[in-house]
Structure 1
């Protein structure tokens, strides 16, 4: 009798035994199956089959598999070992891990395609600079058994990192091995894949969660059969079923989108490094603004640092000027207005960046100080003038704008901290000779809008491109002379130890859009805190000085990279339930930590309300576990969570090495 061990995507850390279907072949390990699970029917994955029942399992109670979804396995033993490692590393179940890693798990959706700029990838090989050739030779050196080949290509924007990646990929393919090329955004995946397909042909495949299930499964099978050996994708492409991986590329390594927001909350960078070691492959990361953790690994020699220092298109680094707008009446300062007009007179183009969409960020009563908060989240509502609605950007709740304060009845009400919609209106009113287009998630929902705007901007039909983060990266327009950052401080007030790092990276990345093909590029950084280290260092392009200071702060506070963290978030629709559960888990964590040797200790910080205390009517409390070794953190976490048992009406999130503490 054959017994199937099936992993099901439920938060229960065990496998479930089933009988094969009465008709048809017995599914092999690696096949997906539909199984009865209580009153539900779920999709599971066969991970093993045996002739005997496990201890304590009653044959009479076994149910049959309802349907076999795959005739051929979706993965082999080495891939399953990666799934087990991810499950152990991120403290989640094997079933949940497999559901994330395998194709067809996500619902299809329409995605805007990036485009309209100069191709980031040349259709044929380009002549390399000496720095690029040196980087390729170093990365291509043969490895000794068990040797790590971890490299970081650190270079200013426009210095040719992409061409290095592609020529490394070409060498790897010629050697008969596969390549995984990760990019941080799905839209950038499409853009890059289009260019790579022209250069490499059918050997390229695309994988990301936004593809239709059928398309994703089709690409998966092509990779599995060896027909496609160069895989381009967002973070989930790190799980591509390549048999012989020779190279893993992580472009824009600093981006937070490489970290998954749902269980398993894996980081593609960590998975890539593990997989590179297992497969004897090279892992190459690249960015103009490395994460602080990556910078520290370069300083200690764990990551081999390779530097590109000059722009290959001939453009010089732009001049950067900070403008103090503390106390100013508007958000478009006179120097920025003059720069926009002068750029237009010289037939150049401008990009304006503000990391806040909408017309205004918050309603406020000037009499009593009341803020209009979302009734389901502890965040202010944002006014969208085009819709004439207050909108919560966390849960989507909508309400009518308030004309009278609901707390004190005052008519002296208004809005503070303006967003992209308000900036667009101000420019159209104050600089009518300039044509403006806005790019944010509000405007790009109509299909084809993003593509159309970028193509018109590339043709010079639009003078000013205004937007949120989607204009901060991946755009490479020859005509851009001026870049303006409307409010550089928006991220600095967040209660997160990475706030300064993110602000610094964003300014440097946005500044990189200016002057890529010319010597007169300029960046104007408007701020109310020009003295802040992240802003002053970014404006002066003092990269090494910023990282040195940031590492000193992290070391003093014992934050990564000088410690490891596990974040536990307990949420419930009942505030008391979330608070009481967090107190119990915190007590159990401290109890477990006391049993560790002093030199391998774990600090338990909290519990405390999360920075965003309520989201979608769920109250949130958090506990931070901090220690030098991940093994000790795992040990404490497992005991605290395991002993807490099933908490009624409370959901627990476990985030190993979190990148966001909000």
Structure 2
């Protein structure tokens, strides 16, 4: 949804005459695609400070709202308009701080959404449903704030870690902590958090990770460090995998100051933290920090803005930083005396004198035809498993096979609702669309011609697990004297609550010898006995139409390589270096050449040079306008008409914004809805923002004229094109 129109008509005077009702602006989540988005005016018998949580009528419903700041130049309500009264105040919850409201207002403005939508999405859902008595009971159960100065745990730091901690303590930042996998970045984060909490008895810290499955491991480590000093209740988590009651409890603890440390995924960037002192964004390059539904904000970028606005330190950490952050942290040079606005900190060495794994690239053009595992890789896996070591096999595609195919009539297992194939899952004999969720049983024969010989094409993690188990069935693990065991971790095996933790515990306990997994096990996990990692089919990303694909592939493979050889003493005892194997049909590709040397700076320099020449981010700024409609013609027609209207109106900033023609998305139909998009690009961020803001009224007007349109949205700084 877009920002609102006619904002002056929705504001109100902040100082009504004596004896009159007080007119208060209240941010509410208005219906999608309505032109009403700014705070609405409601009547109150008493003045309420901005940030107060209230319940207000909206249409036939009663909804949660936030009393907002009155604009400087407020217009009175139109004659004859009677404002509706506020239904009630959420007593016992302190008003949301001005810094939080400024964060929400900035996010709404920059990402072209309404203030109410962003504000209400940032609050725990249960606040919308609890009555006054239920909320009062929750507040009584909330633990009181713990203000214990305590002493931090004495952990011996490497010279690189100590230098990074000292720089962060004495310099303002923002900081980009560029540390190789296994270099001890997490310990640097904990040291900086400890210093901030010890310096101020009310200080709070926010530590963010890109995915839910990384929070339990981090939470246990943070609790072990800080619970003895501040109590268990001082550390809380925030992510979408929690129950509504858990999310509310964590939010209240952070809002009241009882929680000193908040751990979370991208949604945690909006946590109410009145005394925020430090923000950590781990694996800052990860695309998961970009929200892909509703307000499409980037949590990393908001974290940097929030830290600057609240006077907090912000640390972005990664072994493969995003090219945007890498460019922003460039050191001064003769041609660029100012350099970037971030401060880059280096930690190239692994803890304990460990070495990064040796990269072995296998040319599949020289291997037996049809081989899934090349003979050299299979021999290396077998040798490691026999010695009791663990291996990780990476394939970023779940299921057994991407598609079923009939060789007689060329039928494929297409999804009836999407322009995509249904994926074959052999375990439960189903065909599943990974885009809309539609599932069906595997047919006994070809639905088109009756041929009984329908076969899977391509491979997924299920198939790799099955084939590896067959290939290793006669391998004996020493000194245990048992048969080798193959396990799998992907989105299918971790659906049940607690399943991921249970499977990771099995890996850590040595109950799995070869782990097959998707990208969810390739980053952040500290597997101490894995000494070999193999990527069996990584070439698909090399020739993607998305200009960010090589960067993402390099990051994924380097993160995966970092799972091998993390325990230097264990690797040394085995008498053989850790290894990263890559099977490819393009062994001389620059991605693999740089990966052999673990040389992110060289790869980044080459990619940045290409982007500078092509005028792509971070040297230009982009936005996508997407249209979903009943037909592809209607979707593209809306975008074309909106572009023509913008040119006819000569909107501000248009002279610096290039509008590309609308095109279908790669997966152009999902759940029966056709999708098209239009790319906007500009060398000026300000010009692009001015144009998008001015364009909103025309987009709303065009939507009214295109009856086949289902919805439209704006995606600022898109991460996938």
- Rounded to whole Å, the distance in 2 between the matches of 1:505 and 1:301 is 22
Q: Which residue number in structure 2 is paired with residue 656 of structure 1? A: 716
Equivalent residue for 1:312, pick from 341, 347, 351: 351
Q: Which residue number in structure 2 is paired with residue 340 of structure 1? A: 381
Q: Are 1:459 and 2:498 an aligned pair?
A: no
- Rounded to whole Å, the distance in 2 between the matches of 1:311 and 1:57 is 67
Q: Which residue number in structure 1 is paired with residue 490 of structure 2? A: 440
Deviations 1:574-618 (A, max 9, x none): 3332122121122234446686485xx111112111122111211
Between 65-74 and 446-455, the greater mean CA deviation after superposition: 65-74
Q: CA deviation at 1:354?
A: 0.6
Q: Are 1:516 and 2:573 an aligned pair?
A: no
Correspondences of 1:635-650 after superposition (within 5 Å)? 635-644=690-699, 645=701, 646-647=703-704, 648=707, 649-650=709-710
Q: Which residue number in structure 2 is paired with residue 634 of structure 1? A: 689
Q: Which residue number in structure 2 is paired with residue 473 of structure 1? A: 523
Between 93-102 and 209-218, the greater mean CA deviation after superposition: 209-218
Please say if residues 63 and 128 of structure 2, whose CA atoms lie closer than 8 Å, have aligned partners that are also in contact.
no
- Label 1:458 to 1:197 Cα distance change in 2 as closer, same or farther (>3 A): same
Equivalent residue for 1:283, pick from 302, 314, 320: 314
Q: Are 1:87 and 2:116 an aligned pair?
A: no
- Label 1:652 to 1:60 Cα distance change in 2 as closer, same or farther (>3 A): closer
- Label 1:106 to 1:450 Cα distance change in 2 as closer, same or farther (>3 A): farther
Deviations 1:190-216 (A, max 9, x none): 321222122112333322333333333
Between 614-623 and 410-419, the greater mean CA deviation after superposition: 410-419
Please say if residues 651 and 694 of structure 2, whose CA atoms lie closer than 8 Å, have aligned partners that are also in contact.
no
Between 231-240 and 368-377, the greater mean CA deviation after superposition: 368-377
Please say if residues 179 and 230 of structure 1, whose CA atoms lie closer than 8 Å, have aligned partners that are also in contact.
yes
Equivalent residue for 2:545, pick from 488, 495, 500: 495
Q: CA deviation at 1:2?
A: 1.9
Q: Which residue number in structure 1 is paired with residue 60 of structure 2? A: 39
Equivalent residue for 1:622, pick from 647, 659, 677: 677
Please say if residues 99 and 310 of structure 2, whose CA atoms lie closer than 8 Å, have aligned partners that are also in contact.
no
2:678 aligned counterpart, secondary structure: strand
Please say if residues 653 and 688 of structure 2, whose CA atoms lie closer than 8 Å, have aligned partners that are also in contact.
no
Q: Which residue number in structure 2 is paired with residue 186 of structure 1? A: 212
Q: Are 1:554 and 2:585 an aligned pair?
A: no
Q: Which residue number in structure 1 is paired with residue 462 of structure 2? A: 421
Correspondences of 1:72-151 after superposition (within 5 Å)? 72-104=93-125, 124-141=153-170, 143=172, 149-151=173-175
- Label 1:315 to 1:73 Cα distance change in 2 as closer, same or farther (>3 A): same
- Rounded to whole Å, the distance in 2 between the matches of 1:623 and 1:105 is 37
Q: CA deviation at 1:259?
A: 1.0
- Rounded to whole Å, the distance in 2 between the matches of 1:156 and 1:53 is 53
Equivalent residue for 1:358, pick from 399, 409, 415: 399
Between 221-230 and 500-509, the greater mean CA deviation after superposition: 221-230
- Rounded to whole Å, the distance in 2 between the matches of 1:465 and 1:142 is 42
Between 638-647 and 150-159, the greater mean CA deviation after superposition: 638-647
Q: CA deviation at 1:284?
A: 1.0
2:541 aligned counterpart, secondary structure: coil
- Rounded to whole Å, the distance in 2 between the matches of 1:67 and 1:2 is 14
Between 456-465 and 574-583, the greater mean CA deviation after superposition: 574-583
Equivalent residue for 1:199, pick from 225, 230, 243: 225
Between 129-138 and 638-647, the greater mean CA deviation after superposition: 638-647
> Alpha carbon RMSD of aligned pairs, Å?
2.6
1:492 aligned counterpart, secondary structure: helix
Equivalent residue for 1:604, pick from 643, 659, 664: 659
TM-score (norm 1): 0.90
Q: CA deviation at 1:39?
A: 3.3
Q: CA deviation at 1:317?
A: 1.2
- Rounded to whole Å, the distance in 1 between the matches of 2:370 and 2:328 is 44
Between 205-214 and 509-518, the greater mean CA deviation after superposition: 205-214
Q: Are 1:331 and 2:388 an aligned pair?
A: no
Q: CA deviation at 1:467?
A: 0.9
Please say if residues 621 and 685 of structure 2, whose CA atoms lie closer than 8 Å, have aligned partners that are also in contact.
yes
Equivalent residue for 2:276, pick from 234, 245, 248: 245
Listed as ranges, the gaps of 5+ residues in structure 2 are 1-20, 130-151, 331-338, 476-483
Q: CA deviation at 1:536?
A: 3.0
Q: Are 1:565 and 2:622 an aligned pair?
A: yes
- Rounded to whole Å, the distance in 1 between the matches of 2:155 and 2:588 is 42
Correspondences of 1:13-24 after superposition (within 5 Å)? 13-20=37-44
Please say if residues 593 and 636 of structure 1, whose CA atoms lie closer than 8 Å, have aligned partners that are also in contact.
no
Q: CA deviation at 1:38?
A: 2.2
Q: Which residue number in structure 1 is paired with residue 419 of structure 2? A: 378
Q: Which residue number in structure 1 is paired with residue 535 of structure 2? A: 485
1:541 aligned counterpart, secondary structure: coil
Q: CA deviation at 1:408?
A: 6.5
- Rounded to whole Å, the distance in 1 between the matches of 2:719 and 2:561 is 24
Please say if residues 27 and 71 of structure 1, whose CA atoms lie closer than 8 Å, have aligned partners that are also in contact.
no
- Rounded to whole Å, the distance in 2 between the matches of 1:311 and 1:345 is 27
Q: Which residue number in structure 2 is paired with residue 8 of structure 1? A: 28
- Rounded to whole Å, the distance in 1 between the matches of 2:127 and 2:607 is 38
1:138 aligned counterpart, secondary structure: helix
Between 497-506 and 304-313, the greater mean CA deviation after superposition: 304-313
Q: CA deviation at 1:288?
A: 0.5
Q: Are 1:394 and 2:435 an aligned pair?
A: yes
- Label 1:104 to 1:28 Cα distance change in 2 as closer, same or farther (>3 A): farther
- Rounded to whole Å, the distance in 2 between the matches of 1:214 and 1:497 is 41
Please say if residues 64 and 128 of structure 2, whose CA atoms lie closer than 8 Å, have aligned partners that are also in contact.
no
Equivalent residue for 2:192, pick from 140, 164, 168: 168
- Rounded to whole Å, the distance in 2 between the matches of 1:231 and 1:438 is 31
